[in-house]
Structure 1
């Protein structure tokens, strides 16, 4: 009896040791469906893709809510998640610096770049001068191009659903056109001498160009979030000279430097924008349309001198 108990104990210990020595690998995400799987590089594109896909495709974002997409480093579990994927959707224009390596690691999964064929706005007056600004989805007008690209890519992926994709794409573009009018009417409330939008990242170039705003920022893209004394001093001077009533920052980066601008100039800190990531469902930006309305609401209040100091 003692011998049998001893053998049993040895067997249990051996099993535990083997289990501990086995790497903790995350199994590929099971979709539980036969639908084609579409991976997007960040959550904003996932929402946009879902509007076009409806229930014919399963859409997932590689990066999670709140992630900074510019300098994202794909994890082994991200690569595992590409198993079974039918399409990868990316923004392009240099936004996802990691995407080329990720796509290459994903093997033969086809990729669609939503900004292809779009005339980009160029970054001016910085070390990035002449390079394309990647944040084209920040203007509803430019987002229509993204929708057309998705309709085409999804129709090639799932030809039987092409009519559905076209119908859903047109319906969503109508929502974007309605949003365009809403934003234009809202921003028309901003006094002409207060139409300078100051953010941490230069992510609002397309919105500014399409709605008659000027733009200033601490850094051109979030891949470079170190604020040099020269940049900080230059922005402080601009805010003082233009008597800007409010400055803003984005949800995926620290707002410490921008709050310093506010303290040094007497401007308000007008709130937190969402740009490269949606919020969760309880937040102010759970979709791209909600993101735009939230941001423009902050802009109008801040630049009109409304709203409490935050």
Structure 2
């Protein structure tokens, strides 16, 4: 009886040890996965303050303002659709280690409030100060259009907000941030000036920008274009027959020469517009994400120039 009891206890202890070891292994694997996902490959000797942005466009703008003084990272990867992004445990771990978090605001990152809830990390909304344009339809009617960075003029406001945030985070290098910001804003102004100058040569009937998502309201306003789109925000990207019919009617009525779609969504619905009208498909525009190195838009300035070139070529007939 005593031997059986001792054997039972030994078996129970062995079982408990095995369970504990398995649990530790699983925790270790989870930790490794989270660390890898959070960018654990970063040089451990890099002790610069970490600035974390919500998407790649903001990261590139921030890098231009930060120079070599800060380490800038993006939560989302290139090609990611930002509106409906779902943060991972690795994202949370990365955010907890950051010194500053930058988000666009204007309801772009619907997941952001819950993402930073409970984190003791300062964050700055880089769109503060933008003269917003409200969404005119769908479930988001009356809310500000979040794509303010698509105007080079608005992007200069983003730069000013970043400069102020970086100077507060790292006062010793405030002069560097101010100089970087001024140089970068000059480049942004040049992109705006070149785009508006070329668009000014177009007949009024050709100055219409028709896209899948209503992501170009600010660019259209600041460059003198009339905007039309299939859906207001990518979270509502399943086009209805009514939306498609409305765009077809607009394209026909205004003799629009070309229509466009964004890189993060399917252009299937816009191709229906092309088939039903005399418009051509002008090309793919970039909004929410940069491309990989070697791709068409590895930086924000190249994104703006790419989109400007595609729009001008499409509307002037040069892309046909």
Using the size of structure 1 for normalisation, the TM-score is: 0.90
Q: Does 1:81 align with 2:94?
A: yes
The answer as to whether partners of 2:196 and 2:224 remain within 8 angstroms in 1 is no
1:279 match: secondary structure: coil
Task: Measure how far apart 1:134 and its partner are.
Answer: 0.8
- Matching residue of 2:204: 192
User: Which of 238, 250, 253 is equivalent to 1:226?
Assistant: 238
Whole-angstrom distance in 2 between the partners of 1:247 and 1:96: 27
Q: Report how far residue 257 of structure 1 moved.
A: 0.7
CA contact (8 A) 1:191 1:304 kept: no
Long gaps (5+) in structure 1:
1-13
- Alpha-carbon shift at residue 145 of structure 1 (Å): 0.7
Measure, in 2, the Cα distance between the counterparts of 1:115 and 1:155. Answer: 17
Aligned residues of 1:189 and 1:300 also touching (Cα < 8 A): no
Q: Secondary structure at the match of 1:67?
A: coil
In structure 2, the residue matched to 1:63 is: 76
Q: CA deviation at 1:78?
A: 1.1
Separation of aligned partners in 2, 1:287 and 1:77: 25
Cα offsets for 1:17-75 (capped at 9, x unmatched): 94996253232534421001110000000000000000110000000000000110101
CA distance in 2, matches of 1:226, 1:53: 39
Separation of aligned partners in 2, 1:220 and 1:88: 27
Deviation at 1:125, TM superposition (A): 4.3
- How far the C-alpha of 1:205 sits from its partner, in A, is 0.5
Selected match of 2:261 from 249, 260, 280: 249
- The one of 47, 50, 56 aligned to 1:43: 56
Partner of 1:304: 316
Report how far residue 117 of structure 1 moved: 2.4
SS of aligned partner of 1:81: helix
For the residue of structure 1 that corresponds to 2:96, the secondary structure is: coil
Distance 2:129 2:189 in 1: 20
Query: Which blocks of at least 5 consecutive residues in structure 2 are unaligned?
Result: 1-17
RMSD: 1.8
1:73-108: per-residue Cα shift (whole Å, max 9, x none)?
A: 101111122232101000000100011111115x10
| Corresponding residue to 2:134 among 122, 128, 134 | 122
Give aligned pairs, total. Answer: 293
Seen in structure 2, the aligned counterparts of structure 1 residues 162 and 259 have a Cα distance that, compared at 3 Å, is same
* Length-normalised TM-score, structure 2: 0.87
Q: Aligned partners of 1:125 and 1:29: how far apart in 2?
A: 39
Q: Equivalent of 1:260, from 251, 259, 272?
A: 272
Q: 1:94 aligns with which of 107, 110, 114?
A: 107
- Alpha-carbon separation, structure 1, partners of 2:246 and 2:314: 21
Between 71-80 and 50-59, the greater mean CA deviation after superposition: 71-80
> 1: CA distance between counterparts of 2:311 and 2:319?
10
Which residue pairs with 1:150 in the alignment?
A: 162
Of 97, 112, 119, which residue of structure 1 is paired with 2:124?
112
Report if aligned partners of 1:186, 1:296 keep a CA contact under 8 Å in 2: no
**SS in structure 2 opposite 1:272?**
strand
